[in-house]
Chains A and B, each alone.
Chain A
Amino acid sequence: MADPHDAKDHRDPDQHPQDVVEQPAAPSDPTVPATKGVLRSIRWGELLVPILAIFTAILVGAVIVFLSAPAEKGSRLHVTWEAFKGLFIGAFGNWAEPSTIPNALSGTLVESTPYILAGLAVALGFKAGLFNIGAEGQLLIGALTAVSIGVWLPGWIGVESLPAIIHLPLAVLGGFVGGGLWGAIPGYLRAKTGAHEVITTIMLNYIALRLIDYMIVSGPMKDPAGSAPRTPFVQGPAILPQFVGVVRDPSLTGGNTYQPLIATTSSTWDLRVHAGLLIALLAVVFVWWLLNRTPKGFEIKTVGANPQAARYAGMSIVSTTVLTMTLSGGLAGLAGAGQVLGLEHNMKSVFSGGLGFDSIAIALLAKSNPIAIIPAALFWGALRQGAGAMQIRSGISINLINIIQALVIIFVAADQIVRWIYRIRREQGGQMVFTRGWGK
């Protein structure tokens, strides 16, 4: 888990500004024995609530399935059982048939990868007191720049193709820079003019969406060879390769050869999970390190907790806000880049389908803790991966997954409900601030 002192940051800033300012000692000093026991119990409490929230949401979900079960698939109890069994089998494989396990697990990881990155993006914003609703737009722009570099960069510089060691990092970097710039705009507007980032990021989402529509549906990036509106396929050296997979016939991928790290001919081991997962995990480590081991990270958290105190302490709110939004946008951009370079290998006009919005939920579920983003994203990914098998087995609406997701968020956001049902006392300082109020 994260640095135990992390929890201290969750104190209500308005009541304890001094505590926050006093904190500089904390990140570099891991031994404060007097508070250690208390902090540990807070961690446990923080972990307990999301887990109980998930448990309660699934329980309520089960009741909903039970009551709405279609008659044709057997008794209600049977349908409920099959629904959750299907959810498990879809996400983790049928353990009675071991050959289904790799594919299911790989699917869950594939679904989780963008959630990790985009969840981190939103969480980082929360840490600085910024509510980045623009992850969706940043993700789209990141995907757009990454796919542009992946498809056309060699052509722009007048060569046939580039070696993967140059092309792939540039494409990934392109995703980061594209998303970062899209995030920097609201960051700058917030810092310089006070325009609230919620408004500006929502508007930028629309602009990004329409820009993509123009570029791909009717504009210059459309692949004339594609039946549905999409860009051409990225070149072979620019993809984030599958770890294990079957080499596809190039005619399916616009004449490009996509080489997995380990080539196989077995369809059991044709796994969609790709190197974007590594980028996501590295990003988690990076954000954790940034927030807990660097002065800049400390500034971010301080600005988030109490900007007045930060200003008195001589921190630049402007540069911290812009930097945070840029990094946040960049992480969301990486999520988009991972999807196009690792999974789809081209960009379709209907691309993200709300990944950026779901990531807000993931940041909430993880309480903005970078490490906790991983299990939160895995949970989300498993639900999405398992949804299909759930519907096949039970015939209930696939929207149940959305209902469970929504219930989880309600229970996490309104954790009083969970604390009340399960009689958990609120721990001292266990509260965290997601964003500052409007118009400050």
Chain B
Amino acid sequence: MFQKRFVALLMLLVLALPVLAACGGADATSTPESSNTGATEPTKAAEPTAAPTEAAAAPTEATEPTAEATAEATSEPSTGGNASDLRIGLVTDVGKVTDGTFNQYAYEGLKRAEKELGVKVDFIETVNPADYEKNIDQFASQGYDLVIGVGFLMGDAIKASAAKYPDINFAIVDSTYEETIPNVKGLVFSEDQAAFIVGALAASMSKTGQIGVVGGVEIPPVQKYVMGYEAGAKYVNPDIKVAKVYVPSFTDPAQGAEAAKNQIAEGADVIFGAGGQTGSGGIQSAADEGVYVLGVDQDEYYTTFKGGPAPKLLSSALKRVDNAVFDTIKELVDGKFQGGQYLGTAANGGVDYAPFHDTESEVPADVKAKLDEIKKGLADGTIETGVKLP
């Protein structure tokens, strides 16, 4: 009798094993970051990009001592006292904090703030787009000091919550509002600067004098990527030909692949994918065709190419959402939080380019130096991308 029941329970546990394995897997990727004490490299996806960022952004953040921040916070009554009393809530877009997209970047910024600034952080992973407002409310109703939403699509929900909770601060990644809302900060990025750098890289590596870009839906951030890419390419090689295409979807890898193939057929030998999964599909197929490719938003070495080998991925144009999130939290700690806009640029470490990974040996040293020079130029304003949206 007893044995039978025991066997039944045992079988249940066996049934649950695959599930456990899945959970454990997710866990494994998140555990190292809690034990890792490195300031700028909380997880492996961000690690390789940390080096160039630090070079650019060292004076502005990351190395600033925590004690100072805390002291400032205590002297600033508007934040409600000690930094360790501050509670920050992060609501991801549909996805997970380990999914290699801006969700993960935002989470890394959050964890860095926890470590360096001593704030209390919590997060909710959105499962369903209908849950945005509900998830934000979970934090706001409990009086969190700052609630961060990730993604353009959460724009309405953040706006509504900001009106409902005027005493709580909000931030939203990738979106901003025409009229400044006093308790909301929109975190947006100079996509054109990130694209300018990889555009210069593409033009330097091209042998045919033709390069291509596969864009997603023709909305401002994508346009800025595409135009910045062209500007960067022309900066190093005024005669370069840039094939541009906008695919009206962010989730159509097949169409992205088709577009990339067409560009290669016309002679392009470096392809930049700037349109979510559509762009990723484009660079994946282009890499299979044997031409160099460039990723976007995150270091696609870890996402699209699953950590390598990626012998054709030169680099990626990065939006450092983690730095933006960290800086926003730091402003709150310092009592300087204001509604409005944070613009991530090369100067403040908000945009960057990813390491070369498997193509490290193929990119000549003078090209590397040139890229560094361009990044510095963008940062100090001596180089302008010249991208202006119509």
Q: B131 — which chain A residues lie within 8 A by C-beta?
A: 353, 384, 388
Q: A72 — which chain B residues lie within 8 A by C-beta?
A: 34
In the complex where A71-B34, A389-B138 touch, is A60 in contact with B89 (Cβ < 8 A)? no
> Any chain B CB within 8 A of the CB of A420?
yes
Binary per-residue interface labels of chain B (149-171) against chain A in the complex, 1 for a CB within 8 Å, 0 otherwise: 00011011001100111000000
Binary per-residue interface labels of chain B (33-68) against chain A in the complex, 1 for a CB within 8 Å, 0 otherwise: 010000000000000000000000000000000000
Most buried by B among A248, A396, A397, A417: A397
- Closest Cβ of chain A: how far from B169's Cβ, in Å? 16
Interchain CB contact (< 8 A) of A64 among B16, B159, B163: B16
- Closest Cβ of chain A: how far from B2's Cβ, in Å? 12
- Closest Cβ of chain B: how far from A107's Cβ, in Å? 7
For the complex, give the distance between the alpha carbons of A67 and B13 in Å. Answer: 11
Main secondary structure of the interface of A (DSSP, over half): helix
> Any chain B CB within 8 A of the CB of A226?
yes
- Closest Cβ of chain B: how far from A52's Cβ, in Å? 13
In the complex where A63-B13, A351-B130, A388-B134 touch, is A252 in contact with B125 (Cβ < 8 A)? no
Interchain CB contact (< 8 A) of B9 among A352, A395, A421: A421
A-facing residues in B1-40 (Cβ within 8 Å): 4-5, 8-9, 12-13, 16, 19-20, 23-24, 26-27, 30-31, 34
For the complex, give the distance between the alpha carbons of A228 and B134 in Å. Answer: 18
In the complex where A228-B156, A252-B163, A354-B128 touch, is A420 in contact with B8 (Cβ < 8 A)? yes
> Any chain A CB within 8 A of the CB of B75?
no
Interchain CB contact (< 8 A) of B156 among A67, A230, A392, A399: A230
> Any chain B CB within 8 A of the CB of A368?
no
Binary per-residue interface labels of chain A (228-268) against chain B in the complex, 1 for a CB within 8 Å, 0 otherwise: 10100000000000000010110010000000000000010
For the complex, give the distance between the alpha carbons of A249 and B181 in Å. Answer: 14
Residue of A whose beta carbon sits closest to that of B153: A228
For the complex, give the distance between the alpha carbons of A218 and B165 in Å. Answer: 33
In the complex where A397-B23, A421-B8 touch, is A107 in contact with B127 (Cβ < 8 A)? no
For the complex, give the distance between the alpha carbons of A60 and B19 in Å. Answer: 11
Q: B9 — which chain A residues lie within 8 A by C-beta?
A: 421
> Are A344 and B152 in touch, CB under 8 angstroms?
no
Q: B23 — which chain A residues lie within 8 A by C-beta?
A: 64, 67-68, 396-397, 399
> Are A397 and B153 in touch, CB under 8 angstroms?
no
Binary per-residue interface labels of chain B (101-133) against chain A in the complex, 1 for a CB within 8 Å, 0 otherwise: 000000000000000000000111101111100
Main secondary structure of the interface of B (DSSP, over half): helix
Q: B193 — which chain A residues lie within 8 A by C-beta?
A: none
> Any chain B CB within 8 A of the CB of A348?
yes
> Are B134 and A397 in touch, CB under 8 angstroms?
no
Q: B79 — which chain A residues lie within 8 A by C-beta?
A: none
Interchain CB contact (< 8 A) of A397 among B13, B96, B129, B175: B96
> Are A60 and B175 in touch, CB under 8 angstroms?
no
> Any chain A CB within 8 A of the CB of B180?
no
> Are B127 and A67 in touch, CB under 8 angstroms?
no
For the complex, give the distance between the alpha carbons of A397 and B24 in Å. Answer: 10
Q: B204 — which chain A residues lie within 8 A by C-beta?
A: none
Q: Please report the total number of A residues contacting B with Cβ < 8 Å.
A: 49
> Are A246 and B164 in touch, CB under 8 angstroms?
yes
Q: A103 — which chain B residues lie within 8 A by C-beta?
A: 137, 141
Most buried by A among B16, B23, B89: B23
B-facing residues in A188-246 (Cβ within 8 Å): 218, 226-228, 230, 246
Q: B142 — which chain A residues lie within 8 A by C-beta?
A: 100
For the complex, give the distance between the alpha carbons of A216 and B157 in Å. Answer: 18
> Any chain A CB within 8 A of the CB of B210?
no
For the complex, give the distance between the alpha carbons of A227 and B175 in Å. Answer: 9
B-facing residues in A80-132 (Cβ within 8 Å): 90, 100, 103, 107
> Any chain B CB within 8 A of the CB of A290?
no
> Are B156 and A227 in touch, CB under 8 angstroms?
yes
A-facing residues in B253-276 (Cβ within 8 Å): none
Q: B134 — which chain A residues lie within 8 A by C-beta?
A: 107, 385, 388
> Any chain B CB within 8 A of the CB of A140?
no
Interchain CB contact (< 8 A) of B130 among A56, A63, A353: A353
Q: B278 — which chain A residues lie within 8 A by C-beta?
A: none
> Any chain B CB within 8 A of the CB of A432?
no
For the complex, give the distance between the alpha carbons of A266 and B169 in Å. Answer: 19
For the complex, give the distance between the alpha carbons of A227 and B153 in Å. Answer: 8
Residue of B whose beta carbon sits closest to that of A246: B164
> Are B30 and A70 in touch, CB under 8 angstroms?
yes
Residue of B whose beta carbon sits closest to that of A218: B248
Most buried by A among B129, B134, B175: B134
> Are A249 and B163 in touch, CB under 8 angstroms?
yes
> Any chain B CB within 8 A of the CB of A398?
yes
> Any chain B CB within 8 A of the CB of A7?
no
In the complex where A64-B23, A68-B20 touch, is A391 in contact with B130 (Cβ < 8 A)? no
> Are B89 and A392 in touch, CB under 8 angstroms?
yes
Binary per-residue interface labels of chain B (236-253) against chain A in the complex, 1 for a CB within 8 Å, 0 otherwise: 000000000000100000
For the complex, give the distance between the alpha carbons of A252 and B181 in Å. Answer: 12
> Are B125 and A391 in touch, CB under 8 angstroms?
yes
> Are A60 and B127 in touch, CB under 8 angstroms?
no
For the complex, give the distance between the alpha carbons of A389 and B140 in Å. Answer: 12
Interchain CB contact (< 8 A) of B123 among A63, A339, A391, A420: A391
Q: A227 — which chain B residues lie within 8 A by C-beta?
A: 152, 155-156, 175
> Are A70 and B27 in touch, CB under 8 angstroms?
yes
> Are A388 and B156 in touch, CB under 8 angstroms?
no
> Any chain A CB within 8 A of the CB of B135?
yes
Q: A70 — which chain B residues lie within 8 A by C-beta?
A: 27, 30-31, 34
For the complex, give the distance between the alpha carbons of A354 and B131 in Å. Answer: 12
Binary per-residue interface labels of chain A (139-172) against chain B in the complex, 1 for a CB within 8 Å, 0 otherwise: 0000000000000000000000000000000000
Residue of B whose beta carbon sits closest to that of A100: B141
> Are B26 and A63 in touch, CB under 8 angstroms?
no
> Are A344 and B130 in touch, CB under 8 angstroms?
yes
For the complex, give the distance between the alpha carbons of A352 and B129 in Å. Answer: 8
Q: B152 — which chain A residues lie within 8 A by C-beta?
A: 227-228
> Are A348 and B129 in touch, CB under 8 angstroms?
yes
> Any chain B CB within 8 A of the CB of A350?
yes
> Any chain B CB within 8 A of the CB of A409?
no
Q: A218 — which chain B residues lie within 8 A by C-beta?
A: 248
> Are B163 and A392 in touch, CB under 8 angstroms?
no
For the complex, give the distance between the alpha carbons of A134 and B142 in Å. Answer: 38
- Closest Cβ of chain A: how far from B331's Cβ, in Å? 23
Q: Known A-B contacts: A227-B156, A339-B130, A392-B122. Give 10 more (CB < 8 A).
A: A60-B16, A64-B16, A67-B20, A228-B152, A228-B155, A228-B156, A248-B160, A384-B131, A392-B89, A398-B127
| 30 sample A-B contacts, Cβ–Cβ < 8 Å, listed by A number | A56-B12, A60-B12, A63-B13, A64-B19, A64-B20, A67-B20, A68-B24, A70-B27, A70-B31, A71-B31, A71-B34, A100-B142, A226-B156, A227-B152, A227-B155, A227-B175, A228-B153, A228-B155, A252-B159, A267-B165, A351-B129, A352-B130, A391-B124, A392-B123, A392-B124, A398-B124, A399-B127, A402-B127, A417-B8, A421-B8
Which A-B residue pairs are the 7 nearest by beta carbons? Answer: A353-B128, A68-B23, A350-B129, A388-B138, A227-B155, A392-B122, A228-B153
